[in-house]
Structure 1
C-alpha cells in the first residue's frame, strides 16, 4: 500500500483519513483518534498530506512536517464541490484528497508559531474594538432616548459623555445616570485594553525588519505591516502580486459570458481584517494626495478625478498589496510608491 496523497478531515478528537495512490485510487480509509494520529502517520511513508484551513490546521501541519510529510492546506470552499452523495467525515476526507489533486486549486499559506502569535494579537484587539463600538452605540442609544443626540464618533463620545454625566441639572434620572456611568467605565476599560494591544503590536513591528520594509509603502503602517506578515509570511504561496490582491479581495467580481464582460464590486474574499487595514490606509493616501505633486500622488489625484473617491481608494489598496508582495519576495527595499 503506497499512499501518494492523504486527505485528513480534522476535528477535536476524531480524524478521518483518506489515502489515494498516484492514479487516484483509494488505498486507505481509516478513522483515528487524536492521541493516535501522529503514531499512525509515522507508519505511513512520506507523502502529501492535505488539510482544510480550519482551527488546528496550522498546528497539525507543523506536526506532520516534523515526521517527514509534505503538507498542503486548502480552503474548504474548494473541497466542498468534490463531496459525493451525503456529507460525512469519510466523504469529506475523500473530497479534500480529490481537491488537492487538481492542478488549479490554490493553497492557503501556512503559518509559523510566530505568525499565529501576531495574528492572535490582531484578533484579540479587533474583538476589543468591536466590543467598544457596541458599548458606545448602546450609550448613544440610551442618551438619545432621553433627548441627548450624539454623532457617531469615538472621539466625540469620549468628550461628550462625561459632560452629560457631570451635569446634574439635566433630565437624566439617578438610575439612568448610574447605568450609563457603568457603561462608560466599561468603555474606558476597553480603551485601555486596546491601547495595550497597540503597544504590543508596535513592539512586534519594531523588532521585525520585514515589517519595517513593508511600512515604507504609503498607506501601510505598523498594524497593516504586522497583519500582512502574520497572514502570508514571505508570500511564497502567491505566484505574483495580482494573486495576492485577489486573495485579499481587492479585485472586482466578474460575471461574464462569451464576449460580454461584466465587472461588479470588489469580491471581498480572503482575509477581511487585512483587506480592511489596506483600504483604511489607502483612504488616508487618497485624502492627503490633493496638495502633493510627486508622480505617485499625481496618479492618485488623476484616478480620483476619473473614477471617484471610493474606487480610487480600492485601487490604491490593490496597488499596495501588489507592492507588498514584491517587497516580501525580493527581500529588498520598496522601489515603488513612497
Structure 2
C-alpha cells in the first residue's frame, strides 16, 4: 500500500467509515472501522491529513487524532455535501467519506477551528441553560393555555404571568376542581425549579468570565454582557481563522442574502446561517444598546441614534449586530481593547 496522505472520515456512533488517498490521488484505503478500534487504527498509521465533518463528537475525535500526530481539519457539512457523487439524491457513508476527503483537498476550502475541552465545557453550561429557558417558556405557555380553557386570561409576558398565576389559581369562581388545581400547582413549582437551574448556570458562567481576559475585554462593548462574552469566546475560539470582521459576521448569518446576477446586486434578508445561539445573544444585546444609545455621547452611540432616525428600529438592530460582530472579531483576533470613540484611518 502506498503512503496515505489524506483521509476523509464519516463519523457515526458505532461504525466509522474512512476513505484515504495517496500522493497521486489514488484510493489507498476504503473501509469501515468499529468505534472501539478507531484510534488504534490511526495510531498504527503514519501522520497524515485527516478531514471530518464538523458534527457531533468531531472535536473530541479531532483532539485525539491530533495527539497522535495527525493534522486534523473539520469541514462544515454543507461544504462537503457539494462533492458527494450523486448529489443530494444519493447518500451513504462511503460516499460521504469520499466527499469529505475530496473537499479537504480544495485549496480555498474553509475549515472549522478545533475546539478545546475547556471551550466545550463552557458550552455545556450554555446549552443546558438554553434548554432550561426553552423548557420554562414551554411550561408557561402550557399553563396559560390550560387556564384559558376555563376562561382565565392572564396578560402576556413571563413577569405578568408570575404576578397573576397564583391569584388566578386560588380564584374560587372558576370551574377548576381540586385535581386540576394540584396539577397546575405542580407546574408552578417546576417553573421555580427551572428558575433555580437557570440562576445556577448564570452564576457559573459569570464566575468563569471573571478569570477570562478575552471575555472581560468583550464586555467593554455596550450590549455585551457575561453571557454573550462567554459564549463568543467559547464558540469562536481562535478568531484568526476568519480573515476579517466581515467574514466573521457572514459566519454568524448577520449579512444580507444575495441573489445577484448580471452585474446587478440584489440583497434580501439576513441569511440566519451560522451559530444561532450566539447570533440571538447579539440581537438581545443590540436591543439594549439601541434603547440606551440616546443617553451616551460616544461616536458609536451617536451613529446608532442617527441610523435609528434614518432607517427605523429593526434595520438598526441588524446593523448593530453586524457592527458588534466586527468589533468582537477585532478584539479576539488582534487582542485590542474596545474604544467607543475610535475613528478608522482610511488610506488616501
Interval containing the TM-score (normalised by the shorter chain):
over 0.9
Residue 165 of structure 1 and its aligned partner are, at CA, apart by 2.1
**Does the aligned pair in 1 maintain the 2:113–2:241 contact within 8 Å?**
yes
Residue 306 of structure 1 and its aligned partner are, at CA, apart by 1.5
Query: SS state of the match for residue 158, structure 1?
Result: helix
State which of 230, 241, 246 in structure 2 corresponds to 1:242.
246
Q: Would you say 1:330 and 2:334 are equivalent positions?
A: yes
Q: Residue 8 of structure 1 corresponds to which residue in structure 2? A: 9
Residue 169 of structure 1 and its aligned partner are, at CA, apart by 4.3
Q: How many Å separate the matches in 1 of 2:40 and 2:296?
A: 63
Q: Residue 69 of structure 1 corresponds to which residue in structure 2? A: 70
Q: Residue 83 of structure 1 corresponds to which residue in structure 2? A: 84
Q: How many Å separate the matches in 2 of 1:278 and 1:337?
A: 21
Q: Residue 60 of structure 1 corresponds to which residue in structure 2? A: 61
Residue 168 of structure 1 and its aligned partner are, at CA, apart by 3.3
Q: Residue 261 of structure 1 corresponds to which residue in structure 2? A: 265
Residue 286 of structure 1 and its aligned partner are, at CA, apart by 0.7
Dislocated runs of 4+, deviation >6 Å: none
State which of 208, 222, 225 in structure 1 corresponds to 2:226.
222
Residue 92 of structure 1 and its aligned partner are, at CA, apart by 0.7
- Consecutive unaligned residues of structure 1, counting only runs of 5 or more, are none
Distance 1:48 1:176, change over 3 A: same
Q: Would you say 1:40 and 2:41 are equivalent positions?
A: yes
Which shifted more, 221-230 or 33-42? Answer: 33-42
Question: TM-score if structure 1 supplies the norm length?
Answer: 0.96
Q: How many Å separate the matches in 1 of 2:202 and 2:81?
A: 38
Q: How many Å separate the matches in 1 of 2:219 and 2:25?
A: 45
Q: How many Å separate the matches in 2 of 1:316 and 1:337?
A: 15
Residue 79 of structure 1 and its aligned partner are, at CA, apart by 1.0
- Consecutive unaligned residues of structure 2, counting only runs of 5 or more, are 343-348
1:72-221 → structure 2 map (5 Å cutoff) = 72-85=73-86, 86-221=90-225
Q: Residue 287 of structure 2 corresponds to which residue in structure 1? A: 283
Q: How many Å separate the matches in 2 of 1:111 and 1:149?
A: 47
Residue 336 of structure 1 and its aligned partner are, at CA, apart by 4.4
Q: How many Å separate the matches in 2 of 1:332 and 1:220?
A: 16
Q: How many residues align?
A: 338
**Does the aligned pair in 2 maintain the 1:250–1:268 contact within 8 Å?**
yes
Q: Residue 256 of structure 2 corresponds to which residue in structure 1? A: 252
Q: How many Å separate the matches in 2 of 1:44 and 1:164?
A: 68
Question: TM-score if structure 2 supplies the norm length?
Answer: 0.93
Q: How many Å separate the matches in 2 of 1:315 and 1:222?
A: 22
Residue 71 of structure 1 and its aligned partner are, at CA, apart by 0.5
Q: How many Å separate the matches in 2 of 1:289 and 1:301?
A: 6
**Does the aligned pair in 2 maintain the 1:218–1:337 contact within 8 Å?**
no
Query: SS state of the match for residue 192, structure 2?
Result: helix
**Does the aligned pair in 2 maintain the 1:6–1:18 contact within 8 Å?**
yes
Residue 176 of structure 1 and its aligned partner are, at CA, apart by 2.6
Distance 1:104 1:29, change over 3 A: same
Q: How many Å separate the matches in 2 of 1:210 and 1:312?
A: 27
Q: Residue 231 of structure 1 corresponds to which residue in structure 2? A: 235
